[in-house]
């Protein structure tokens, strides 16, 4: 079992939310669509990025070739965020995301 955690400043994502080319370098199409559908997309981008970092930290001990861009976060039909690596759902990874106007945080547990 491994754990990863990350915190991000939301203001860092203010400029990214307006730069589609940069977003495509960090997020999947589904993540971009989800975040852009929100009133304050930068909060959701920051939370998604924190989740990717937390997962990367938890998994990187066993997979040195894993890139942050290989990881994506999608909500299931119930709204629960789930982790995908290279578009494959990871059933052994659980994440929790949280954000305010200022910060976003995420934790990942690999079991």
pLDDT at 70 over 90: yes
Q: Residue 66: what pLDDT?
A: 86
- What is the per-residue pLDDT across 2-28, written as a single tens digit (0 to 9) for each? 999 999 999 999 988 788 899 999 999
Which residues share a beta bridge with 82?
74
Average pLDDT of span 48-62: 90
pTM of the prediction? 0.93
∠ Cα 62 44 22 (to 5°):
75
Beta-sheet strand order (sheet of 81-85)? 71-75, 81-85, 88-89
pLDDT at 62 over 80: no
CATH number of the domain that 52 lies in? 3.90.470.20
Pairwise CA distance, residues 68 & 3, whole Å = 16
pLDDT at 96 over 80: yes
- % helix / strand / coil in the chain, to the nearest 5? 40, 30, 30
Q: How many domains is the chain partitioned into structurally? A: 1
CB proximity list for 33: less than 8 A, separation 6 or greater: none
- What is the per-residue pLDDT across 82-94, written as a single tens digit (0 to 9) for each? 999 999 999 999 9
Q: Which domain holds residue 96?
A: 2-110
Q: Residue 60: what pLDDT?
A: 76
């Amino acid at each position: 079992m491994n754990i990863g955690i990350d915190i991000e400043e939301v203001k860092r994502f203010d400029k990214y939310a307006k730069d589609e080319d940069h977003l495509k370098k960090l997020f999947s199409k589904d993540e971009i669509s989800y975040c852009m559908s929100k009133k304050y997309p930068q909060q959701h981008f920051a939370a998604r990025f924190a989740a990717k970092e937390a997962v990367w930290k938890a998994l990187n001990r066993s997979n040195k070739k894993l890139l942050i861009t290989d990881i994506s976060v999608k909500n299931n039909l119930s709204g629960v965020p789930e982790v995908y690596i290279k578009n494959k759902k990871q059933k052994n990874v659980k994440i929790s995301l949280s954000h305010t106007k200022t910060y976003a945080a995420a934790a990942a547990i690999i079991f």
